[in-house]
Amino acid sequence: MNSDWERQTFTFAYLKRQAELDSKPGMMITWLKKIGCLPVAVNWQKTNRLPNTNLDPEAITARYLAEFAFEWDSWGGGSTPRQFVDALAFEVRGTSQKAAVSDVLSGLGAGRKPVAV
């Protein structure tokens, strides 16, 4: 069962602004708590189950942020909030990063039905 905080949403613009204000490397779960996206008492232990998404830039759920940050931190931590948000941009609809990935996947034939030979 989801908690209320998991359904709370944040804009991508808010995350970018907050990342620009904090250049200190660290764990992203901690940073998300610091900027109010996650409750301080939460101890998140689940990985991102929805890779290659098409996130709404106006409504990214706290749960998704927690999953993304937990997976990100599991790779060793020590990155900056800006690096984290730059990586998140690949999942956000309307960003140049997402458009670039979509173009590459389209060029490779992703989403097309296989042709019988």
Sign of the dihedral defined by the CA atoms of residues 70, 74, 75, 81, in that order: positive
H or E stretch at 106 = helix 96-107
User: Where in the chain are the domains?
Assistant: 4-107
d(CA 85, CA 63): 15
Sign of CA dihedral 115, 49, 57, 3: positive
| pLDDT tens-digit map of 65-81 | 999 999 899 888 789 99
pLDDT of residue 51: 60
Q: pLDDT of 27-44, one tens digit each?
A: 999 999 999 999 999 887
| 98-114 pLDDT tens trace | 656 555 555 666 555 55
Q: What is the rounded distance in angstroms from the CA atom of residue 3 to the CA atom of residue 8?
A: 9
pTM above 0.85, yes or no: no
